[in-house]
Amino acid sequence: MATTPTVNSSLIGANLTATGTTKLFALGTTVETTQGGHFEYVEATATQITGKFVLITPNSTAFGVLTAKLTSGAIGYDLGVFQNLISQGEFGWVAKKGRNLFVLCTGTITAGISSSVGFGSGQSGILKSLPAVGNTLNGVWVTTSISGGTQTTTATLQWPRTITHV
């Protein structure tokens, strides 16, 4: 079961599960956490649910993963995962690295470092097992298996990135 990491950085007041319409830190502020984590403070351009992957712009705004943005023209975008619900226009923390983090998956995915996952068409920001996807996702290791439906599970993130298949 995923647990909320604790901030190791000396940033006073950083709460990784807090969201709100008041900007408490400069966008792009980062913190290191327990569990080997690295989180970035962003603004959500749409409501995002727990475990859903988002693209993060160089200006630290987070928006849903769009296949069109996962091409070679998407230079400068990072991937991250919200660890809690965040509404459009709110500010909060997105995970870019760490262990035992929430990720949203669909179908059947077997846990283990050899699991191959990616994003399928029509499943914006939700992991699927390969080969039925259009974008392979590197830097994500699902640590708890799932089977059937769309559900949240746990994974280790190591700077997630995609490879687009054409």
**Residue whose pair of structure tokens reads 């050899």 in the numeric block:** 114
Q: What is the pLDDT of residues 65-93, one digit of tens each?
A: 876 666 655 567 889 999 999 999 999 99
Q: What is the mean pLDDT of the chain?
A: 84
Q: Are residues 60 and 107 in the same domain?
A: no
Under 8 Å between Cβ of 82 and 94 = yes
The Cα 139–Cα 143 span in angstroms is 13
Say if residue 108 is in the same domain as residue 75. no
Query: What percent of the chain is predicted at pLDDT more than 70?
Result: 81
Average pLDDT over residues 114-128: 73
Report the domain count for the chain: 2
- If asked whether residues 120 and 82 sit together in one domain, one would say no
Assess whether 47 and 35 both reside in one domain: yes
Q: Are residues 92 and 131 in the same domain?
A: no
Q: What's the pLDDT tens digit per position in 22-50?
A: 999 999 999 999 888 999 999 999 999 99
Rounded Cα distance between 96 and 116, Å, is: 18
Residue 1 lies in a domain: no
Rounded average pLDDT over 96-112:
90
Residue 159 covered by a domain: yes
The structure's pTM equals: 0.87
| DSSP characters over 104-138 | EEEEEE--STT--EEE-TT-TT-EEETTS-SEEEE
Residue 138, pLDDT score: 83
- Report the amino acid identity of residue 136: T
Q: Which of 9-13, 30-34, 115-119, 132-136 has the highest mean pLDDT?
A: 30-34
- Its domain, for residue 115, covers 101-164
State residue 108's pLDDT score: 86
Q: What is residue 130's predicted lDDT score, i.e. its pLDDT?
A: 72
Query: For residues 143 and 96, what is the distance between their CA atoms, to the nearest angstrom?
Result: 16
**What per-residue string of b and e applies to 124-153 under the rule 16 or more CB within 10 Å gives b?**
bbbbbbeeebbbbbeebbbbeebeeeeeeb
Instruction: Give the Cα separation of 115 and 103 in Å (integer).
Output: 14
One domain, residues 85 and 122: no
| 9 vs 30, more confident | 30
Contacts of residue 166, Cβ cutoff 8 Å, sequence gap at least 6:
none
- Per the domain annotation, does 15 fall within a domain? no
